[in-house]
């Protein structure tokens, strides 16, 4: 079907006060609409009523208590971060497609059509895995393996490649250890995609029972503090600590007793 833009169709050419070549003005106007839409969608999302397994490794226990008790934030996410979150889902879909094309039997849904996951602590602790690889080419791994995907910027990706998951991304390390414990898997394969170059890095992470227990105990401590209305100690002695400067609860935290 062709659009009717002829005389008499009702189409009006030249409507608007920006010239076709004024890219900066048009960009700013369109992005303002996109940012508003992303923020509106974010505000409409129902907050979690549980502690996510992907968050247990967060270094600040007080921040986790604020999160699961739905304490008001000082500010919303920046729209640019929301775009990064959205792009991460698309990059994950690409990596799944490539791995399957290469012969890896990657399952991102169970027989019930839902994500693989676990529920613990009466539903107060939950996790949803990106997938499980149940078979594939001989690459030095035993299947099945937990599969987790992260899309990272150049600097973060390079640091992961250089130092490994445990040191470079302790939050992700805690995540895969908890998931392996609750899903009864002995190894995890982390796939990290470089958002800038599309380079892929893969790291095998063996299950560490002691670490998994430590993270599980930490999750229980967070849940108990939240239920008791208690705030764990701050992570720093001053509000100019680098993690505090970027925290959406910083004002609330440092004004609290």
pLDDT digits (tens, 9 = 90+) for 154-210: 999 999 999 999 999 999 999 999 999 999 999 999 999 999 999 999 999 999 999
Locate all alpha helices (DSSP H) within the chain, ordered by sequence. 23-44, 61-68, 79-101, 154-163, 165-168, 170-183, 209-228, 242-245, 250-255
Residue 17 pLDDT level (bands cut at 50, 70, 90): low
Q: What is the DSSP letter of 69?
A: T
Mean pLDDT of 83-101: 91
Is pTM, for the whole model, over 0.75? yes
Evaluate if residue 19 carries a pLDDT over 80. Answer: no
Give the pLDDT confidence score for residue 85 in this predicted structure: 77
Tell me what the mean pLDDT of segment 4-28 comes to.
65
Q: What is the mean pLDDT of the chain?
A: 90
CA distance 16 to 2: 24
Which pLDDT tens digit goes with each residue over 119-137? 999 999 999 999 999 999 9
Helices 209-228 and 61-68: angle between axes, nearest 10 degrees: 60
Instruction: State both tokens at 83.
Output: 């775009």
* Per-residue pLDDT at 8: 59
Q: How many CB atoms lie within 10 A of CB 187?
A: 17
What pLDDT does 60 receive?
96
> Band of the pLDDT at 234, cuts 50, 70, 90?
very high
Residue 91 predicted with pLDDT over 80? yes
- Residue 45: the pLDDT is 76
Tokens of 159: 């640091």
CA torsion angle for 111, 113, 119, 124 (degrees, to 10)? -170
């Amino acid at each position: 079907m062709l659009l009717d833009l002829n005389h008499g169709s009702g189409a009006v050419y030249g409507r608007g006060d920006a010239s076709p070549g004024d890219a900066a003005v048009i960009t700013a106007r369109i992005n303002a609409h996109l940012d508003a839409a992303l923020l509106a969608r974010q505000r409409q999302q129902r907050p979690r009523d549980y502690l996510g397994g992907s968050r247990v490794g967060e270094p600040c226990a007080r921040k986790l208590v604020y999160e699961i008790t739905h304490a008001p934030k000082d500010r919303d996410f920046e729209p640019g971060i929301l775009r990064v979150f959205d792009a991460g889902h698309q990059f994950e879909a690409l990596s799944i497609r490539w791995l399957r094309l290469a012969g890896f039997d990657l399952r991102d849904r169970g027989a019930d059509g839902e994500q693989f996951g676990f529920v613990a602590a009466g539903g107060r602790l939950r996790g949803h895995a990106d997938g499980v690889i149940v078979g594939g080419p001989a690459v030095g791994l035993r299947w099945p393996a937990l599969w987790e995907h992260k899309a990272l910027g150049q600097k973060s990706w390079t640091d992961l490649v250089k130092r490994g998951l445990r040191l470079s991304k302790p939050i992700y390390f805690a995540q895969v250890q908890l998931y392996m414990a609750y899903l009864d898997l002995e190894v995890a394969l982390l796939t990290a995609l470089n958002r800038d170059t599309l380079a892929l890095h893969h790291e095998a992470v063996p299950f560490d029972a002691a670490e998994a227990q430590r993270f599980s105990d930490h999750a229980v401590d967070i849940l108990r503090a939240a239920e008791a209305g208690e705030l764990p100690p701050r992570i720093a002695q001053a509000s100019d600590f680098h993690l505090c400067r970027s925290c959406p609860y910083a004002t609330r935290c440092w004004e609290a007793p």
